[in-house]
Amino acid sequence: MGKLVNPHGSATLKCLLLEGKAREDEVRKARTLKKVPLTSRETGDLIMLGIGGFTPLTGFMGQADWKGVCDEMKMPSMNGLFWPIPITLSATEDLAGSIALGEEVALWDVETDTLMATMKVTEKYRIDKAHECRQVFRTTDPKHPGVAMVMAQAPVNLAGPVKVLSESYFPEHFAGLYQRPAEARKQFEERGWSTVAALQLRNPMHNSHAYLAWIAIEVCDGVYIHQLVGKLKPGDIPADVRVRAIDALINKYFRKERVIQAGYPLDMRYAGPREALLHAVFRQNYGCSHLIVGRDHAGVGDYYGPFDAQKIFHEIPRDALELRPLPLDWTFYCYECGGMASMKTCPHESKAVIDDDGNYKGGARLLLSGTMLRKLMSEGKPVPREFSKPEVVAILKEYYDHLEQKVEIQLHGAATGDAAKKA
């Protein structure tokens, strides 16, 4: 049996989640401490710190690490450890001013009124939010959902080590799907896997996703379909619907011994290339040796080129990560080839024409994307059978038929194929 990759920057997972009597004692103490409210993003980050997903971090970053990560993707406090996106906690001026350095505080998820952790505050500092956005998102456009998230942060960052007390609602709400890194590693080892390709998902699997997974299974022991179960932007499909759709696809079209589906608790940042690197970091902690990086990974709108998330892996030191990217080209259904293909394999360049009834009228390449699938479904238009399996379409149709308020889905270059001309 082969050996799984090491956790990032560590020989073992660094889990900050307390259990048993240690947790009971810390909960009792926490109820006497000042409350610091958490945003949804901060709550997800905190849970990942707790379960070892952000190994080897010990808490929220201080100013030197914030700057080092923004500018060079390095943490000075950890001997230049590679890290691609700041993991920070913000507070209002009044609250931050009332907290002394060295003081312990209780971190609360205000949306669910849940005590999440305690933290010893070792530093208080302000940041240049626009600078973080330029470095991480490559834009300061307030329409970018990740930029909007950063600009909405409270003005003062609090740093310090944390003791995590809760995983919020994720273990119960996503029972059988939500997984800690240690649990994933145990499952991989039980199956005898040493090479595992992670497939990042925030959409239901259409045929391009399935094709990427099948390719990964050909070159690795198995594929880890790892979907986000935290918050998304308006118009994205909720996790419980995605789970049903993915289950339907896996159960009929995959060898079950070669695939595992699981979920993780982060919110999407839509940081494109930088987020692809963050996905790589925590997938390595989960035990994955490879990350499938396809078209417009973790992107939104037209802020990133279709393969910028692949290119960034060539811009970091070779030893920054043990995990390796599995870069795959733009994939689509080709009517001339008679099946799924990619731009590396298919010589037929004409774009397929589909009428309003979903019928094929000519051309070769039918470009598939989650955005296009959501747009067709939200507008009640038929989905071409080559786009997605009927079992998946049926589940999505049921969801959209019962949706009271629909968000208009805007197509962008990565969904229409226009970006392919620039790649």
What's the angle, vertex CA 182, arms to CA 179 and CA 186, rounded to 5? 100
Q: State the Cα–Cα distance between residues 389 and 249, nearest whole angstrom.
A: 7
Strand, coil or helix: 177: coil
* 374 in active site: no
Is the separation of the CB atoms in 204 and 302 below 8 Å?
Answer: no
**Among residues 41, 180, 202, 274, which one is catalytic?**
202
Q: Which two tokens stand for residue 311?
A: 């290119």
What is the SS3 assignment for 88? coil
Which one-letter amino acid corresponds to residue 266?
A: L
CA 349, CA 124: separation in Å to the nearest integer? 55
- Give me Rg for the CA atoms of the chain: 22
Under 8 Å between Cβ of 401 and 373: no
Catalytic residue status for 79: no
Query: Angle of helix 390-401 relative to helix 370-378, nearest 10 degrees?
Result: 50
Q: Tell me the C-alpha distance between 127 and 371, whole Å.
A: 34
The token pair at 180 is 């800690």
Q: Write the CB contacts of 128 (distance below 8 Å, at least 6 apart in sequence).
A: none
Q: Are 225 and 147 in contact (CB under 8 A)?
A: no
Locate 382 and state its tokens: 């038929």
SS3 386: coil
Bridge partners, residue 411, by sequence:
none
Catalytic residue among 157, 203, 207, 285, which? 203
Single out the residue of 37, 370, 353, 319 nearest to residue 209, CA to CA: 370
How far is the CA of 224 from the CAs of 292, 330, 369, in angstroms? Answer: 10, 21, 20
Active site residues: 202-203
